[in-house]
Amino acid sequence: MLSILIERIRQGHRTIKFPQEPLVLPDRFRGLPTLPLTACAEGCKSCVDACPSGALNRVVAANGKARLEIDMGRCLFCTDCQDACPQGQHRHTTEYRLAARTREALVLRGQQYEPGGPLGPDLRKLLGRSLKLRQVSAGGCNACEADINVLGTVGWDLGRFGIQFVASPRHADGLLITGPVTENMRVALQKTYDAVPPPKIVIAVGACAISGGPFAGNPEVHDGADSFLPVDLYIPGCPPHPLTILDGLLRLVGGKVDGRSHPQHAGSRTCGGRRL
């Protein structure tokens, strides 16, 4: 027993200090993509043709000028566009704040990207200082699921924010969905959603759950969760980094992000995800 205590003291505190302190990300981190705004060669579509998921689109405006659009809900963050651009203007930044409240907000047209905000005050008041989620893998490859599981480890400790994953949808405030929603999972997902007591929320994590990802258009998938369920939060990525997922969840419940104050989640008294 003594050796265990000594080793525990030696290891120290392992949980990251985010959001009180920013997490330093490596330069190779693939976050918010940037689009070339000028100097594209006339008629050049190298990046559009190279995109494996159709996330990039070249649009010609009424004035005859062409511009690029990128749908982060379809983007696989694979850097194929970056490699194909003859002028090297495509790149991924280390910006991890990518979650959006609406599907349209994920389409970048050169504007500064604004991550999604919190739920409405009535729903936040009902949820109190806790959020219980039932995770559903609707045909996922287990990449998004793995990064979601990371949030439950001692390094991240998602529970300190009052956010937990539960075994039963009847104990949940909403669903967190991964995968493109295969035909084999469609009924199971619908039944799970129906079992969550209203009002409820739905969170789509990963390109597959948002748009179908690389499987979009396949007759065996339904191109994401919002094909038949209302989605309250979209977290793009393939897979999204745990930090991107955590930031999106904290923004949704009005938690502390960007150094602003947030309600204290620890010690909340809840029953089935609802505040007592």
Q: Quick one: pLDDT at residue 41? A: 60
CA dist., res. 123 & res. 56, Å (int): 35
Q: Quick one: pLDDT at residue 256? A: 62
Q: Quick one: pLDDT at residue 2? A: 86
Q: What is the largest CA-CA distance in the chain?
A: 75
- DSSP string of 186-208, one letter each residue: HHHHHHHHHHSPSS-EEEEESHH
Asked if the structure places residue 135 within a domain, the reply is yes
* CATH code of residue 242: 3.40.50.12280
Mean pLDDT for back-to-back runs of 10 residues, the chain (276 residues): 83 82 88 72 78 85 76 92 81 92 89 83 81 95 95 92 94 96 95 95 96 91 92 95 95 71 38 38
Q: Quick one: pLDDT at residue 118? A: 87
Are 64 and 129 part of one and the same domain? no
Planar angle of CA 70, 214, 218, nearest 5 degrees: 120
Q: Quick one: pLDDT at residue 40? A: 64
CA dist., res. 167 & res. 82, Å (int): 41
Asked if the structure places residue 5 within a domain, the reply is no
Are 204 and 77 part of one and the same domain? no
Domain count of the chain?
A: 2
CA dist., res. 207 & res. 10, Å (int): 40
Say if CB 15 and CB 156 are below 8 A apart. Answer: yes
Question: What count of Cα atoms within 13 Å lies in the side-chain half-sphere of residue 203?
Answer: 30
CA dist., res. 235 & res. 106, Å (int): 9
Residue 224 belongs to domain spanning: 121-275
Are 221 and 84 part of one and the same domain? no
What is this structure's pTM? 0.87
Are 239 and 182 part of one and the same domain? yes
Are 60 and 177 part of one and the same domain? no
Are 134 and 271 part of one and the same domain? yes
CA dihedral sign, ordered 46, 49, 52, 53? positive
Asked if the structure places residue 268 within a domain, the reply is yes
Q: Quick one: pLDDT at residue 206? A: 96
Are 160 and 71 part of one and the same domain? no
Are 143 and 41 part of one and the same domain? no
